[in-house]
Every structure is written in structure tokens, then in C-alpha cells.
């Protein structure tokens, strides 16, 4: 398995990220679909916008599927996105968890904690 490198944000990017997630949350709570909310998000940096929208989809999946017990097929319908996108994103989420866990384990063993 190859090691995944995650982008490190500057303070400015971190603030844009937080505001972007908040904006998406408010739009979604107001009844805007996930794709429509993503279009409304005004972030000039295309890479950062993609990270924000991808992460927001992961957040929604976590809240609806894991937190709410809603089947992934229904999550796709509620978000107005393709079921395949939900499955793909869910798989990425599991990889993220695995990579984070392995990174933490290796960090701890290199420090003699495990």
C-alpha cells in the first residue's frame, strides 16, 4: 500500500476551508442539494474547493450513514448524487481511516510508544 500525502493548509487556507464547510452546511440545511451547494461555494482556488467539497461529502456520509443509520443508496438519493459516487467516496473514507491509523501506529512505534 502506498503512503498517502495529505495537503497541509496555510492559516489562510485553513480559514477558507472552515468557512467553506460552514457555507456548505448552511446551504444543505436550507434544502439545497449537495451538487447545488458545491456550485454555490465561492472559493477561487480550484484545488482547495475540491478538497472542501470532497470532505463535505465525506462528512455527510458519516453523519447520515454512520450517525443516522441511513443506507448508502438512500444517502445518495438524499444528496442527489450517483450511488456510485457515494460508494467510491465511502471507500476513500475507509482508506483514509486505514492510512491515518497506520501513520499514527508508525509514528508511535518510531517513538517507542507502541
Instruction: Express each pLDDT in 61-89 by its tens digit.
Output: 999 999 999 999 999 999 999 999 999 99
Over residues 3-29, the mean pLDDT reads 88
CB 64 within 8 A of CB 70: yes
The average confidence (pLDDT) of the chain is 87
Grade residue 104 by pLDDT with cuts at 50, 70 and 90: low
CA 94 to chain centre: 11
In the prediction, which pLDDT does 2 show?
44
- Closest C-alpha to 24, from 48, 59, 70: 59
Region 103-114: what's the mean pLDDT? 55
SS3 68: coil
- Residue ranges per domain, the chain? 11-110
Structural contact between residues 21 and 55, judged by C-beta atoms closer than 8 angstroms: yes
Amino acid at each position: 500500500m502506498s503512503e498517502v500525502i495529505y495537503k497541509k493548509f496555510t492559516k489562510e487556507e485553513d480559514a477558507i476551508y472552515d468557512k467553506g464547510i460552514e457555507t456548505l452546511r448552511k446551504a444543505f440545511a436550507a434544502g439545497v442539494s449537495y451538487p447545488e451547494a458545491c456550485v454555490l461555494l465561492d472559493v477561487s482556488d480550484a484545488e482547495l474547493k475540491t478538497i472542501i467539497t470532497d470532505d463535505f461529502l465525506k462528512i455527510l456520509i458519516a453523519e447520515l450513514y454512520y450517525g443516522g443509520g441511513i443506507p448508502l443508496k438512500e444517502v445518495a438519493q438524499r444528496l442527489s448524487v450517483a450511488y456510485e459516487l457515494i460508494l467510491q467516496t465511502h471507500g476513500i473514507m475507509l482508506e483514509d481511516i486505514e492510512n491515518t491509523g497506520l501513520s499514527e501506529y508508525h509514528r508511535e512505534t518510531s517513538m517507542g510508544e507502541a
